[in-house]
Chains A and B, each alone.
Chain A
């Protein structure tokens, strides 16, 4: 497969670089203190009108701004398709509506939080603002949410159904979600909660702006042993006629999750970071809780 990554935009706890990808290499930043990293939000007025900013929840603003920044970088006005991946969706508004309906005994509720609580809100908002009537989908499968969105984008391009696809992975932390996930024991041994919105403009053909080419994508679920993980990686490489020594860099969560935090769609941040690195061929291996593993192979343009 050859899918051209024409532009990237990432809103994350790490400072953004000029090309939209995180500007730092894995060694440039010290691990942040504490077990919760917060995304550095941009000046939204550059992407969204003031009236809409007031109405949008935090995750919607982050998603829409990253999407618009990505399209601007790519110089694509309206993509052929919009595909998002989010494990938790619009948590803030979900919690608002849920706590009000319980606190107010199901009486005198307003619809705003409910309307904005749906997982497809960000993809829908982008479509509405762009008047993009093309293919529109939202994947909500935990640590496979972004990978599924990426696979959908790749298939659409291969089918000839789309030449340009805007695809992204996004999740937000709320106080309540952080407290719950902390109780589940997710943030031990230096692992911090993370969040962010990372979008890519993927294209069927090359352009002068391309950052990298996505050449492979695979996922596997709940591997039972380390040997199984190794054999899946070997299979992936041989499916692309590659040997281990052909890979210039293997990027794993250990290389980027101290920058973006751990969250189900952190693999989108990992891919964005890999694209910004000065190596020819990079394998990204994302591991979410040893349940969801993904492999992404990129080569530089």
Chain B
């Protein structure tokens, strides 16, 4: 039950790039992905910035390379599925995995399935083709079917911690000997449903978000997909290329405080981080970088920061929220940030927390503001917390 699980491949699409190389370039050069709304059809254009993937559905459809179906063109497929396919395919094909004889699965996550098309169903002619991918699991199947993955499929929705839990669950399927390789992560496209939902909660920033800043005003929503290719030790040894990283620890806990808000002391986040450290056999001092959940809301950053203070006091590792680049991509965020965390371990990088100015008065530490590449990064802690008190932490280590 404690066999190592390796990350052999990565795939990502977000507001800062359509693949791993483009995302990495933007992270290194400090280019944020949020801007005025361009693609989402909403009355809130001009009101909130969004971190949209810079491509129309037609352009995304072309990027997938999948031919149009007999009954519907690819641009009629949910944007959530198109994003998922692009990133999952990159992760699967980034290494020379000989799939014959291997049991390969897909564990994905998303929070609203094909809601973008369901909105069209409700707005227009109630065409059945617009609700084919309404279910969260249908999005996963659309992608898995086209990637030829069928040995084990499932989908998780624990709100904003969904794809961290997908990676966690996938790793356990390997440890239990049920699968040899799994494409694991998550996807979400921007929809009017989520934009308006978060707007009713009054936690959207009308400017670019400022995670972990005293003057933070809220979050910017984003979209995208991020997947890791997890493999067993035996499969990792059979590959020509060395693994990117090892998934060394994980933990899932519940804050059990409120349906949407975090407890002031972040008890769920504290237990998740502490549990992840325990499962990896590491001490707090072993962590070289924390990829924060860091949404930029008053509540999250205080709860997460307080929990970090309790766990890491008195020496705090460098930390940053890459949501300052990608926005909060909800069900995709744990997957996208898993890719960024694995790259941090592989390339010895600490990413900047963009636009940060003022220390939070409650916290004795501050996030990193510029790119750091002068030290080995052995272990990265990545946090994902969500509605319903769902808190998960993952640890990525050098292989």
A-to-B contact residues, CB < 8 Å? 82, 87-89, 97-99, 101-102, 105-107, 109-111, 114-121, 123-125, 127-128, 130-142, 144-145, 148, 152, 155, 158-160, 180, 183-184, 219, 221-222, 291
Contact = CB atoms under 8 A, between A and B. Distances in A.
Given A106-B43, A133-B254, 13 more contacts: A89-B157, A109-B196, A110-B200, A114-B196, A114-B201, A116-B259, A120-B390, A128-B257, A136-B388, A136-B390, A141-B155, A158-B1, A160-B1
Report which residue of B136, B141, B169, B260 has the largest number of chain A beta carbons within 10 angstroms of its beta carbon: B136
A159 B1 contact: yes
Contact of B192 (A101, A124, A219, A221): A101
A142 B154 CA distance: 9
A115 B260 contact: yes
Interface in B142-160: 150, 152-159
Nearest to B110: A140
A155 B176 contact: yes
A105 B43 CA distance: 7
Interface residues of B, number: 57
B12 to A, nearest CB: 22
B387 A140 contact: no
Given A98-B118, A106-B192, A137-B156, A142 B254 contact: no
B200 A138 contact: no
B128 A120 contact: no
A90 to B, nearest CB: 11
Nearest to B168: A137
B256 A130 contact: yes
A111 B388 contact: no
30 contacts: A87-B137, A88-B135, A89-B136, A97-B193, A98-B115, A98-B122, A101-B192, A106-B42, A106-B192, A106-B196, A109-B200, A111-B201, A115-B387, A118-B387, A120-B157, A120-B159, A124-B259, A125-B259, A128-B389, A136-B389, A137-B169, A138-B158, A140-B113, A140-B136, A140-B155, A140-B157, A142-B135, A148-B154, A158-B1, A159-B1
Contacts of B113: 140
B271 A133 contact: yes
A136 B252 contact: yes
A145 B113 CA distance: 14
Interface of B: 1, 42-44, 111, 113, 115, 118-119, 122-123, 128, 131, 135-138, 140-141, 150, 152-159, 165, 169, 172-173, 176, 192-193, 196-197, 199-201, 252-260, 267-268, 271, 386-390
Given A106-B43, A120-B387, A120-B390, A140 B254 contact: no
A115 B128 contact: no
A118 B218 CA distance: 20
Contacts of A111: 197, 200-201
A101 B196 contact: yes
B119 A102 contact: yes
Contacts of B137: 87, 140-142, 144-145
B157 A138 contact: yes
Q: Which 8 A-B pairs have the closest CB atoms?
A: A124-B388, A114-B197, A141-B137, A111-B200, A142-B137, A119-B157, A136-B254, A140-B136
Contacts of A127: 254, 256, 388-389
Given A106-B42, A128-B256, A144 B169 contact: no
A138 B253 CA distance: 13
A71 B260 CA distance: 25
Nearest to B108: A141
A144 B154 contact: yes
Nearest to A143: B137
Contacts of A160: 1
Nearest to B267: A133
B140 A115 contact: no
A140 B112 CA distance: 10
Contacts of B1: 158-160
Nearest to A221: B150
Report which residue of A105, A125, A138 has the largest number of chain B beta carbons within 10 angstroms of its beta carbon: A138
Nearest to A87: B135
A98 B252 CA distance: 30
A140 B136 CA distance: 6
Contacts of A89: 136, 157
Contacts of B135: 87-88, 140, 142
Contacts of A131: 256
Contacts of B43: 105-107
A95 to B, nearest CB: 9
A131 B271 CA distance: 14
A98 B136 CA distance: 16
Given A115-B387, A140-B135, A124 B254 contact: yes
A139 B154 contact: yes
A114 B203 CA distance: 14
B154 A141 contact: yes
Contacts of B173: 155
Contacts of B141: 142, 291
Contacts of A88: 135
Given A98-B119, A111-B201, A136 B158 contact: yes
A137 B256 CA distance: 13
A117 B159 CA distance: 10
Contacts of A101: 192-193, 196
Nearest to B260: A115
Nearest to B136: A140
A184 B271 CA distance: 45
B159 A144 contact: no
A298 to B, nearest CB: 20
Contacts of A158: 1, 176
A121 B260 CA distance: 10
